Copies of this chain bind each other. A is one copy, B any other.
Amino acid sequence: MGASDVSTARPLGVGLLGLGVVGSAVAAGLMAGRGELAGEGARPLVLRKALVRDLRRKRTVDLDPGVLTTDPAAVLDDPSVDVVVEVMGGEQPAFDYISRAIRGGKHVVTANKEVLCKRGDELFTLAAEHGVRLLHEASVGGGIPIVGPLSSDLLANRIESIRAIINGTTNYILTKMAAQGAGFDQVLEEAKKLGYAEADPTSDVDGWDAAYKIAVLARVAFGVSVPLDAVHREGIRGLEAQEFRYAATLGYTIKLLAVARREQGGLLVRVHPALIPSSVPMAKVDGVLNVVEVEGDLVGPLWLQGRGAGPDATASAVLGDLLRIARGAEIRKNVAAARSADRLKLVSIDDHECKYYFRLVCKDRPGVLAQIAGILGKLQISIASVIQMDANAERGEADLVIMTHPSLERNVQKAVREIAALQVVARVASVLRVEAY
């Protein structure tokens, strides 16, 4: 169903792909009449079909048995379904289902950052060709309004940067590591038990989820397509308990940041753990909270914070998108097209400049610092402070924590390789960027 008929009052049929916790919350919202909140003149939303794996599974939401189906075609090819809501996640079969829905003239609402990151170019082009909407507020930041504001309220701005904590699992783990002085593995196990981390935590702890999300936001904010391999991505798996203690001593907190910022005449998109000053508000965004900091040239700095996950928060965003369609909101253009006028190039982190934190486990003997300082100096990396901490006398080792002045990433990487090769250095335990505030 295209744009032309959204003004009539007949119901807008919804087909759900996925009836897990998020899908059930969306269905519950529709059953509770939230689909009529678009008001008089808008099309009321009616749930027509829901794709499930097992028809007999006990569900939290009470649906007419005729609604449930195990056959994707029963959702995707049903002419009474005007909008398909995809809350299955993953690239496939989500991509196939979404494209088939679009080809069938159906609008799509999705919470799936992975498919949007990996196949967004194809999907948005397809949606434009077929004159349907592809909405995805739920794909980033749970219920925090961010895709909507970037697409609409803030559209007059040239966006300078987006800096966010957008993965609740890693933020929970980092918060606990900092508070308890505990190691990564221990906190991860706790997080799994509490349901804050999945059995296979790779997508979260290795930064994939945050990378998908910042790529999705960059498309909306900067009108640029960001392939996954153009996102500089580091996870939190390698962080050791000492880092949190040393960082705190130096006045910093460690967070997994997702950043898309104009620099070097282009756009740098990066996900990595970073030291941020403990005094700035972002240092206090703890646990599973998400925050997105947007800097626009007119609006200045904006701060949008809330629950980044959870069935109800995600359903809030999905239902908001459905109501947008029910009200016949504009379908002509994806905002990315409007933003793309300045044709931003994606740039590499190699030319990024920031302060760095190194922790080197060194042999506790004279002359160590001279050798390290020699390498740094040669590569134009200027030392701001050096602290020797926690000497492990038994092994004859000491932790050397070095903070640098702003330095060039490519030089830092080179320095790290040279330092690691020094005989007096047992290992380079940690190299972390210090985020500028």
Question: Do A37 and B145 have beta carbons less than 8 Å apart?
Answer: no
The answer, yes or no, to whether A393 is at the interface (CB within 8 Å) is: no
Question: Do A155 and B300 have beta carbons less than 8 Å apart?
Answer: no
- Contacts A332-B328, A333-B40 hold; do A320 and B156 have CB atoms under 8 A apart? yes
- Contacts A304-B303, A332-B327 hold; do A155 and B37 have CB atoms under 8 A apart? yes
| Distance of A263 Cα from B404 Cα, bound (Å) | 54
Question: Do A152 and B337 have beta carbons less than 8 Å apart?
Answer: no
Residues of B within 8 A of A72 (CB): none
The answer, yes or no, to whether A330 is at the interface (CB within 8 Å) is: yes
Question: Do B313 and A298 have beta carbons less than 8 Å apart?
Answer: yes
Question: Do A39 and B303 have beta carbons less than 8 Å apart?
Answer: no
Residues of B within 8 A of A316 (CB): 154, 156-157, 296, 298-299
Question: Do B303 and A303 have beta carbons less than 8 Å apart?
Answer: yes
Select which of B41, B284, B312, B323 is within 8 A of A298 by beta carbon: B312
- Contacts A153-B317, A327-B330 hold; do A299 and B303 have CB atoms under 8 A apart? no
| A10 CB, nearest partner CB in chain B, Å | 15
| A242 CB, nearest partner CB in chain B, Å | 28
Residues of B within 8 A of A339 (CB): 37
The answer, yes or no, to whether A315 is at the interface (CB within 8 Å) is: yes
Select which of B300, B313, B338 is within 8 A of A39 by beta carbon: B338
- Please name the residue on chain B nearest to A158 by beta carbon: B34
| A164 CB, nearest partner CB in chain B, Å | 14
| Distance of A335 Cα from B37 Cα, bound (Å) | 9
| A356 CB, nearest partner CB in chain B, Å | 29
Contact mask for chain A residues 306-332; partner B; CB cutoff 8 A; 1 contact, 0 none: 110010110111011011100111101
| A346 CB, nearest partner CB in chain B, Å | 21
Residues of B within 8 A of A303 (CB): 303-306
| A267 CB, nearest partner CB in chain B, Å | 17
Q: Which residues of A pack against B, CB within 8 Å?
A: 7, 25, 29, 34, 37-42, 137, 142-145, 148-149, 152-157, 281, 284, 296-307, 310, 312-313, 315-317, 319-320, 322-324, 327-330, 332-333, 335, 337-339, 341
Interface SS of A by simple majority: mixed
Residues of B within 8 A of A42 (CB): 330, 332-333, 338
| A329 CB, nearest partner CB in chain B, Å | 5
Residues of B within 8 A of A323 (CB): 152, 155-156
| A107 CB, nearest partner CB in chain B, Å | 14
Residues of B within 8 A of A337 (CB): 39-40
| Distance of A41 Cα from B338 Cα, bound (Å) | 10
| Distance of A350 Cα from B266 Cα, bound (Å) | 58
| Distance of A154 Cα from B332 Cα, bound (Å) | 22
- Contacts A145-B153, A329-B329 hold; do A306 and B313 have CB atoms under 8 A apart? no
Question: Do B338 and A299 have beta carbons less than 8 Å apart?
Answer: no
| A377 CB, nearest partner CB in chain B, Å | 40
| Distance of A29 Cα from B153 Cα, bound (Å) | 15
| Distance of A142 Cα from B299 Cα, bound (Å) | 8
Q: Identify 17 residue pairs between A and B in the complex whose beta-carbon atoms are under 8 Å apart, listed by A's number.
A: A38-B155, A39-B332, A39-B338, A41-B332, A42-B332, A145-B302, A148-B153, A152-B324, A153-B320, A155-B323, A156-B315, A298-B313, A298-B316, A299-B307, A299-B316, A300-B312, A301-B306
Residues of B within 8 A of A322 (CB): 156
Question: Do A299 and B143 have beta carbons less than 8 Å apart?
Answer: yes
- Contacts A143-B300, A307-B300, A332-B328 hold; do A152 and B156 have CB atoms under 8 A apart? no
Select which of B144, B299, B315, B329 is within 8 A of A330 by beta carbon: B329
- Please name the residue on chain B nearest to A320 by beta carbon: B153
Residues of B within 8 A of A320 (CB): 152-156
| A391 CB, nearest partner CB in chain B, Å | 37
Interface centre among A41, A145, A149, A328 (most CB of B within 10 A): A145
Residues of B within 8 A of A284 (CB): 281
Question: Do A37 and B338 have beta carbons less than 8 Å apart?
Answer: yes
| Distance of A148 Cα from B302 Cα, bound (Å) | 15
Residues of B within 8 A of A296 (CB): 143, 316
| A26 CB, nearest partner CB in chain B, Å | 9
